[in-house]
Homo-oligomer: A and B are copies of this chain.
């Protein structure tokens, strides 16, 4: 099942197929409960045992009911989470007291079916805002979803499909890891939904990542926060902005720190899921990777990389295959991260494009031919330090507008 290998001094990573389905002990399902017309819309993840839980949720002032209820459950039982229920088609956001009641009832129903307590269940929703969950459909759907629980790739794929909204493909990623000197194989796997939009504000991102390795809850939280900063937050200019954004990570309860292998595998799964989202940008026809080097510090590198992948003028130029490097450097400058004149240079597809002092060193013909590729790599060296960061995005296409002008569920 191994499809790629990476190694370092202190651990070994092996890329796997199957997402959450690659994690021993985890069962998944995804079914069509009728919340959406004719599409699967309800996923259940049964962790099979108590897990410690780490979370990163939206910074939006408006937080959907499922986020609030899940945070309550994590506060109460964050060392003994057992299951996740997630639906698409309805965000259960801006739904007031009824929304909270519905989110709690969903957790209660799932808990009853699984023989656990309601506070051991996390709930998540994505879809239209301001509409209540159709609870009769959710209740009946949960019964079928729990009966359908299974281990392996197929089941994880069903769960990943059931949380899709405007996504074109389900998103599953997994890595096995071996810590230094250890022959013990552990796995981190995850599923996610979301797409790298225009300036990806307000497209809900859900990600559920779990491992059969053990560590303390505090250590898992620290590892997740670090990973999110470099991955999910690098496909969005404003971090987590939708009312429903959440990333939950689950590990077996332990007292020790997350090992280097676990941290690296968690990071790798988050990075692959983030890239999956960037590639699946709504209506996107091209994928963009921006690698910023030579920055004063990580904060500057991140700010510049994100400003470029999120500039609508860079994104439309990319769609038009227009070698307009001025838009790239103007976007970089707009980050107000302290760009120094005559110090920066730009590369395209690994080749020097504009050297220091704004000297164009690549012909327009060659630049255009690189831009005809489906996957575009832009490098920006700020020439002032050693820090770097990578951001992922996509072009802004006619298709994006078509999708979002008439998006309903």
Interface residues of A (CB under 8 A from B): 59-62, 91, 93-96, 128-131, 197-199, 201-203, 238, 241-243, 311-313, 316-317, 319-320, 322, 324-327, 329-339, 341-342, 354, 357-358, 360, 396-398, 400-402, 404-408
Q: Which residue of B lies closest to A342 (CB)?
A: B96
The CA-CA distance from A357 to B94 in the complex, in Å, is: 8
Residue of B91, B325, B338, B398 near A402 (CB, 8 A) is B398
**A397 to chain B: which residues have CB within 8 Å?**
401
B61–A339 contact, CB under 8 A? Answer: yes
A–B pairs, 28, beta carbons within 8 Å: A59-B336, A61-B332, A61-B334, A61-B338, A61-B339, A62-B341, A91-B326, A94-B358, A96-B341, A96-B342, A128-B326, A129-B329, A130-B329, A130-B354, A130-B360, A198-B198, A199-B312, A201-B311, A202-B312, A202-B327, A203-B313, A312-B312, A316-B401, A316-B407, A320-B407, A322-B406, A398-B398, A398-B402
**A335 to chain B: which residues have CB within 8 Å?**
61
B201–A312 contact, CB under 8 A? Answer: yes
The CA-CA distance from A400 to B319 in the complex, in Å, is: 12
**A319 to chain B: which residues have CB within 8 Å?**
401, 405
Q: Given the known A-B contacts A313-B202, A322-B406, are A333 and B130 also in contact in the complex, defined by CB atoms under 8 Å?
A: no
**A330 to chain B: which residues have CB within 8 Å?**
60, 62, 93-94, 129, 202, 242-243
A312–B358 contact, CB under 8 A? Answer: no
The CA-CA distance from A241 to B327 in the complex, in Å, is: 12
The CA-CA distance from A388 to B313 in the complex, in Å, is: 31
Residue of B128, B334, B396 near A202 (CB, 8 A) is B334
A241–B334 contact, CB under 8 A? Answer: yes
**A341 to chain B: which residues have CB within 8 Å?**
62, 96
The CA-CA distance from A31 to B199 in the complex, in Å, is: 38
Q: How far is the CB of A183 from chain B (nearest CB, A)?
A: 47
**A322 to chain B: which residues have CB within 8 Å?**
405-408
Residue of B243, B331, B357, B408 near A96 (CB, 8 A) is B357
Q: Which residue of B lies closest to A95 (CB)?
A: B358
The CA-CA distance from A312 to B319 in the complex, in Å, is: 17
**A94 to chain B: which residues have CB within 8 Å?**
326, 329-330, 358
**A199 to chain B: which residues have CB within 8 Å?**
198-199, 312
Q: Which residue of B lies closest to A313 (CB)?
A: B202
Residue of B62, B339, B400 near A339 (CB, 8 A) is B62
Please name 5 further chain A to chain B contacts, defined as beta carbons within 8 Å, in addition to the given A62-B341, A312-B312, A397-B401, sorted by A numbering.
Answer: A61-B334, A96-B342, A129-B326, A202-B330, A317-B405
Q: Which residue of B lies closest to A319 (CB)?
A: B405
Residue of B201, B317, B320 near A331 (CB, 8 A) is B201
Q: How far is the CB of A395 from chain B (nearest CB, A)?
A: 9
**A96 to chain B: which residues have CB within 8 Å?**
341-342, 357-358
**A324 to chain B: which residues have CB within 8 Å?**
128-129
The CA-CA distance from A193 to B311 in the complex, in Å, is: 21
The CA-CA distance from A203 to B13 in the complex, in Å, is: 45
**A317 to chain B: which residues have CB within 8 Å?**
404-405, 407
Q: How far is the CB of A150 from chain B (nearest CB, A)?
A: 34
B59–A312 contact, CB under 8 A? Answer: no
The CA-CA distance from A400 to B405 in the complex, in Å, is: 13
The CA-CA distance from A128 to B406 in the complex, in Å, is: 34
Q: Given the known A-B contacts A62-B339, A238-B334, A339-B61, are A93 and B326 also in contact in the complex, defined by CB atoms under 8 Å?
A: yes
The CA-CA distance from A93 to B332 in the complex, in Å, is: 13
